[in-house]
Amino acid sequence: MAEEMTPRKPNDEVYIKSLKLYGRVLRVGPADESVGERPYKVQITTYCRRAEVELYDPKATQEQRRASLQDKTERLEILQKGVEAVIATGGNVEPETVREYLVALEEHQKELSRYAAL
């Protein structure tokens, strides 16, 4: 038998099926949506061993991402200049060089999206 979709209230203990975790409702979303679609802000408590956790330093993380983005940008620029030089002289770009350039471009795009998320 399906569970009736009754609205949850703040401080209700809930089981989050998709995460397979228990939590507590902190806030309920707008009432203009159906009960099944209403968003809830839920606090999750989980227990970890000391080896599984580390202090989060946002400034250090930002600096690491900035340095990584700079490295990937420099690598991409070097490869791009090499490809442009070969094309400018009318030569053929080696498939390995193209592959390396495309890999560098993909890594740069990933790092750029990670950096933009800060």
What residue ranges do the domains of the chain occupy? Answer: 13-52, 58-116
pLDDT one-digit tens code per residue, 7-61 = 788 999 988 888 888 899 998 887 776 767 788 899 998 888 999 988 888 898 8
pLDDT one-digit tens code per residue, 73-111 = 999 999 999 999 999 999 999 999 999 999 999 999 999
Asked if pLDDT for residue 3 goes beyond 70, the answer is no
Torsion of CA 44, 48, 53, 56, to 10 degrees: 20
Place of tokens 């060089």: 97
Cα 32–Cα 35–Cα 37 angle in degrees, nearest 5? 80
Is the Cβ–Cβ distance between 29 and 40 less than 8 Å?
yes
Stated pTM of the model: 0.54
